[in-house]
Structure formats: C-alpha cells, structure tokens
Amino acid sequence: MTAGVFALEGVCASRGGRSVLRDLDLEIGEGATALVGPSGAGKSTLLRLLNRLADPDRGTVRFAGRDVCDLDPLELRRRACLVPQLPALLPGTVADNVRYGPELCGNEADVPHSLELAGLGRSYAEREAGRLSVGEQQRVMLARALALEPEVLLLDEPTSALDSRTEAGVEATLMRLVHEHGVSVVVVTHDSGQARRLARRTIDLRPEAAG
Ligand SMILES: Nc1ncnc2c1ncn2[C@@H]1O[C@H](COP(=O)(O)OP(=O)(O)OP(=O)(O)O)[C@@H](O)[C@H]1O
Ligand SMILES: [Mg+2]
C-alpha cells in the first residue's frame, strides 16, 4: 500500500471568515476520484487546499506522504496542477498560455500535443486567448495543465461549459491519462453520470454525508 495521493487530517478551512470545511479526514488514493456536493459545500475550497492556493485554519494536508507545508509551493503546483472552475487565461495566444507554466519550470511545452489531448486542434495555437468561447477557454486551461505533465490533475468542473460530444472527448482524454499514463485525477463535478464514468470513488462533501 502506498501513501496515497492526498491525506487530510482534522482539516478546518474558512473563506471570507466563514467556516466551510470542519474537521475533515479524507484519503484520496491513486486513479480518479470525484468530488461532489451542493453549491457552496466547499469543493473548490478543498481543491485549493490540496495544492496550497490556500492553507487550512487547522489540520494537515499530505501529498504523497509529505505535509504540503514542507514542499516548495511551485513544485507542488506543477506536480498537482489545478484547473480552476472559471477560465483565467493570460493575454496573448493560446500557445503563449500553454508554454507559460513549463517555461517557469525551465521546460519546453509540447503545444500541439497538449492542445490535442485537451480536445482542441493544433490550429488553435495562434488564436488570441481572449477571443475564445468559454468552452474553448476551459480546454486551453486543461491544455496548460497537461503541458506541465503533472502527477495529479485537480479539475474543478472541467466540462461545465462543453457540449456533450466535446465533453466525451475530454473525458476520454482523462481516462487515458489515468489508465495509460498513471496520472491521478480529482474532479469536482455536479454531474453524477460524469462521476460514475470517470471515477473509482466519489467523495460527497454534503455536511451530513460521511467523508
Ligand atoms: N473568495 C471568497 N470570499 C469569501 N467567501 C467565499 C469565497 N469563495 C467562496 N466563498 C464561500 O465559501 C463557501 C464554499 O465555496 P466553494 O467555492 O468552495 O464552494 P463549491 O462547493 O465549490 O461551490 P460551487 O459548486 O458553487 O462551485 C461558499 O459559502 C462561498 O460563498
Ligand atoms: Mg466550486
């Protein structure tokens, strides 16, 4: 048995002074895990704790057995890469966006490959990022994450703006990453069908649901 991917112990977290997560104990293993629960339950808050975009008020978050506070935040965020709920692209082209993260780490991105994995043709590379539909931006955000070759993808409603056919393509990519490349995925979704299709395990963040 390995250390798993993430382990939370006694985690309490708040946003804007309001308590959101209370005394949460959780193990997230390898493979795909879905995170569900009603709006406001703290799903996005939890993802942010996993790669230290936020820190808990109390408790410990471990990644591969190590307290995330002992890891370099940039290295943690490359290994466990978050695709946020709302696209937030940089000015410039799609290729500029995909190259940005790997460049920070001194690596060169495979832009066409990342775009294709994310369900965008390579012809998108020179498109202006600010002139894409939300669904296209969502896939550029995924391509940016994939270019970092992370061990874990933290996906916050990654297909919420996609039509069902494009969604199926993104899901197929995620399944391939999990099953052929050993990438782990933590995916927030409001779609129970997507949770069933993608994930080995579903964690329900409803306050009354068992962790
Ligand atoms: N920047 C913020 N400042 C203050 N409160 C916030 C902030 N972001 C979120 N919250 C509050 O924290 C709680 C949890 O928010 P969070 O975004 O984690 O929920 P969620 O489960 O992801 O919801 P959704 O399904 O709507 O995305 C909510 O009550 C929300 O109002
Ligand atoms: Mg959310």
CATH number of the domain within which 39 lies: 3.40.50.300
**Per-residue b/e over 199-210, b at no fewer than 16 CB within 10 Å?**
beebbbbeeeee
Please identify, by atom number, the ligand 1 atom nearest to the C-alpha of residue 85: 27
- Does ligand 1 lie within 6 Å of residue 44's CB atom? yes
pTM greater than 0.85 (yes/no): yes
Tell me, yes or no, whether 140 lies in a domain.
yes
Whether the CB-CB separation of 80 and 151 falls below 8 Å is answered with yes
Tell me, yes or no, whether 70 lies in a domain.
yes
Tell me, yes or no, whether 14 lies in a domain.
yes
- Does ligand 1 lie within 6 Å of residue 45's CB atom? yes
Domain containing 173 equals 6-204
Q: Give the CA dihedral 9, 46, 185, 66, nearest 10 degrees.
A: -40
Mutate which of 21, 36, 43, 86 for ligand 1 pocket (most atoms within 8 A of beta carbon): 43
The CA 186 to ligand 2 mean position distance, Å, reads: 13
Tell me, yes or no, whether 211 lies in a domain.
no
Cα distances (Å, whole numbers) of residue 30 to 23, 25, 27: 23, 17, 10
Exposed / middle / buried, residue 191 (Cβ in 10 Å: 0-12, 13-18, 19+):
middle
Residue at 108: amino acid letter: E
Whether the CB-CB separation of 187 and 174 falls below 8 Å is answered with yes
Tell me, yes or no, whether 86 lies in a domain.
yes
Tell me, yes or no, whether 1 lies in a domain.
no
The SS3 call for residue 22 is: strand
Residue 208: the pLDDT is 66
Residue having the nearest C-alpha atom to atom 27 of ligand 1: 39
Non-local (6+) Cβ contacts of 211 within 8 A are 24, 25, 26, 203
CA distance 31 to 42: 22
Tell me, yes or no, whether 103 lies in a domain.
yes
Tell me, yes or no, whether 210 lies in a domain.
no
Please identify, by atom number, the ligand 1 atom nearest to the C-alpha of residue 41: 21
The CA 119 to ligand 2 mean position distance, Å, reads: 23
- pLDDT per residue as tens, the chain (211 positions): 456 799 999 999 999 999 999 999 999 999 999 999 999 999 999 999 999 999 999 999 999 999 999 999 999 999 999 999 899 999 999 999 999 999 988 899 999 999 999 989 999 999 999 999 999 999 999 999 999 999 999 999 999 988 998 899 889 989 999 999 899 999 999 999 999 999 999 999 987 665 4
CA distance 56 to 9: 11
Number of structural domains (the chain) is: 1
